[in-house]
Amino acid sequence: MQGEEKEYHVTDNGISLLPLATLRLNVAFQPQEYGEELNAGEIILRCTEFRELRVVLRGEGLLPSPTREVTVKSDVEGTKRFSIPFANPFPYTIEVTHYVTAKKCKDALLERHLEAFEVVGKKSQLLQAKQTTNLPCAFTPSHMQIYEVVFNVGVRKLSPTDGAPWKQHEIVWSYPVKGIAVMRGFQEPSPRTLLKEHVYPCEEPTPNRPARIEGEARSSTSFRLCLNLAGYLDNRERCGEEGSFTWSFSVQTSGDDLLDAAALVNVSVKLRRESCTVDPMTGVANLAFIGTFEPPRSFEIMATLSVTSVIGGEWQFPVFLQARRTELVESKITFFSDNLHKPIHRNLLLDSGEPTSAKFRVIFVKPGASAFSLAHTSGVLPPQGAGYFTLQITYALKNYGRVTKTKIVVQTPRKEWIYDLIGEAWPCNQIC
């Protein structure tokens, strides 16, 4: 536009342009067919001075492509079924077939990759225009390794006259699929545990029990964890290399809706690999970790420690994390009263202790709680530095000459604070 820009609206009578004005038309393209045919159009502009101006538009319909790799996990010798959704992008009926092929790689065990995947059910079907279906497949790993294949979806016209001509007889979508073999691992027992099992053979074997990591909240506890990676057979010379294993925690249950369990596990448990040895006879790897447990609040969480080898395979170990409530207190709040019928109020100012706001709850622990009451037992704490939530605590004197004590615990999803509450009567010489 030369000069001042102006927005024009097309009406039945057309539009009027100012002298030297430039007209810009916004055009949206929605392909009706694969390729260039049936995807053409034109814009016709007519005026008395130039009669007619035609703008020819041509577009090409491209095929939607898979967005990312499909990952599936299954226990060794077990079967995991999964499906890949597919939508007919054409405005007519098509025939769909699906099959698995090997990924192009130099792999002496290529046949093992293909045998681990099987197409389930009908291998071909008809899809109406814009219809969606799920194409099923099964993954059955036989060894602890990564399995990589290509899941192919072939599409053909039901009638050659439908739509525009295709450049090829069949169009194929290829989805890369990675299969990960999983084995339920166990903690390596100590020599004392082995002796105990030998003496008392009827006792339940301890290796199948979850590993326990426990300590006091807001403190640091060191621990050592020895794991048995059964089925680790290939590339045993790489076991001692840095980066040959990766590990991560995932939460199973916590029993507490307020907990941000995933964040707590992430900040509480720090692991460092100490050693890795492979039995030359069996190929079984023994992996040792040393770690620290530094929970910021009390909790009980059942988690899974997943150890993954770079050559493939994932071992999963159940781990029970227990952070006991600390005896440390933020402060002591004392209430003095000289009247059985006059409650005493104190205010406690709270924030989340984090850059973001957080839900909270308050619970009483230990005897004496009946003498105290709270205006709120739950709510939302503001971010640190953005003000405070005022928690009003009320103390009602029950009798003279007796000190009442209890504790309150303020909990957020990731933090915890403990306060001592002490209620007592004024000394007699101050009452008289």
Residues 114 and 10 in one domain: no
Which DSSP string do the residues of 70-105 spell out, in sequence order? EEEEEETT--EEEEEEEE--SSS-EEEEEEEEE-SS
Q: What whole-number distance in Å separates Cα of residue 384 and Cα of residue 72?
A: 42
Contact 353, 359 (CB under 8 A): no
**Same-domain check for residues 214 and 307:** yes
The total domain count for the chain is 4
For residues 256 and 218, give the distance between their C-alpha atoms in angstroms, rounded to a whole number.
19
- The 10s digit of each residue's pLDDT in 258-297 is 999 999 999 999 999 998 888 777 777 888 999 999 999 9
Distance (Å, rounded) from C-alpha 405 to C-alpha 398? 12
Q: Are residues 191 and 319 in the same domain?
A: yes
Mean pLDDT for the chain overall: 84
Q: Residue 20 is encoded by which pair of tokens? A: 């030297």
Predicted pLDDT of residue 269 = 96
Predicted local distance difference test score (pLDDT) of residue 122: 86
Encoded tokens for 100? 């698995």
Predicted pLDDT of residue 195? 36
359 membership: H or E segment, kind and range:
strand 358-365
pLDDT in tens, 301-318: 999 999 998 877 899 999
Is 229 found in the same domain as 148? Answer: no
For residues 226 and 357, the model is more confident at 357
Q: How does strand 171-184 pair with strand 314-324?
A: parallel
CB contact at 8 A, 103 and 56: no
Instruction: Give the end of a domain, one of 62, 91, 106.
Output: 62
DSSP labels, 152-191:
EEEEEESSTTSSSPPSSS-EEEEEEEEEEEEEE-EEPPPH
Query: Is residue 285 within 8 Å of residue 232, measured between CB atoms?
Result: yes
- For position 201, what pLDDT does the model report? 34
What is the DSSP secondary structure assignment for residue 386, as one 8-state letter? S
Domain stop point among 308, 324, 340:
324
19 DSSP 8-state letter: T
Expressed as residue numbers, the domain containing 85 is 70-184
Sign of the torsion angle spanned by Cα atoms 203, 207, 208, 214: positive
| Whether residue 162 is found in the same domain as residue 197 | no
- The pLDDT assigned to 121 comes to 87
Question: What is the structure's pLDDT at 70?
Answer: 93
**CA-based end-to-end distance of the chain:** 92
Q: Rounded to an integer, what distance in angstroms lies between the CA atom of residue 68 and that of residue 340?
A: 71
Contact 420, 329 (CB under 8 A): yes
Kindly state the DSSP code that residue 195 receives in the 8-state scheme: H
Of residues 404 and 166, more confidence is placed in 404
| Whether the predicted pLDDT of 9 surpasses 80 | no
Residue 242 has pLDDT above 70, yes or no: no
193 and 106 both lie in a single domain: no
The most confident of the ranges 4-8, 17-21, 25-29, 207-211 is 25-29
Tokens 């706001």: give the residue: 357
List pLDDT tens digits, range 141-172: 998 888 999 999 999 998 888 888 887 889 99
Higher per-residue confidence, 393 vs 282? 393
Domain end marker among 184, 217, 241: 184
- For 274-285, give one letter per residue: b (16+ CB within 10 A) or e: eebebeeeebeb
| Residue 187 pLDDT | 65
Question: Do 313 and 346 sit in the same domain of this protein?
Answer: no
Same-domain check for residues 367 and 386: yes
Q: Tell me: do 424 and 351 sit in the same domain.
A: yes
111 CB-near residues (< 8 Å, 6+ apart): none
Which one, of 178, 186, 143, 205, lies nearest residue 307 by Cα?
186
Residues 34 and 63: beta-carbon distance below 8 Å: yes
Q: Over pLDDT 90: what percentage of the chain?
A: 48
Question: Are 297 and 352 members of one domain?
Answer: no
Q: How far apart are CA 23 and CA 9, in angstroms?
A: 11
CATH of the domain at 96: 2.60.40.10
At 208, the pLDDT band (50, 70, 90 cuts) reads low
Of residues 200 and 136, more confidence is placed in 136
Measured CA to CA, the distance from residue 61 to residue 33 in angstroms comes to: 6
CATH of residue 306: 2.60.40.2310
Q: How much is the pLDDT for 205?
A: 35
Mean pLDDT along residues 374-384: 95
Please tell me the predicted confidence (pLDDT) of residue 341.
Answer: 78
Residues 151 and 24 in one domain: no
Q: What is the pLDDT of residue 310?
A: 82
Looking at residue 4, what is its pLDDT?
47
Distance CA 369, CA 363 (A): 10
Residues 156 and 56 in one domain: no
Tokens representing residue 229 in the block: 């990676």
CA pair distance 120, 151, nearest whole angstrom? 12
pLDDT tens figures, 48-96: 777 788 888 888 888 777 668 999 999 998 999 999 999 998 889 999 9
Q: Is 387 left (phi over 0), alpha (psi -120 to 50) or beta?
A: left
Q: In which residue are the tokens 């249950």 written? A: 253
pLDDT of residue 312: 79
What percentage of the chain exceeds 70 in pLDDT? 86
Residue 392's pLDDT is what?
97
Binning pLDDT at 50, 70 and 90, where does residue 427 land? low
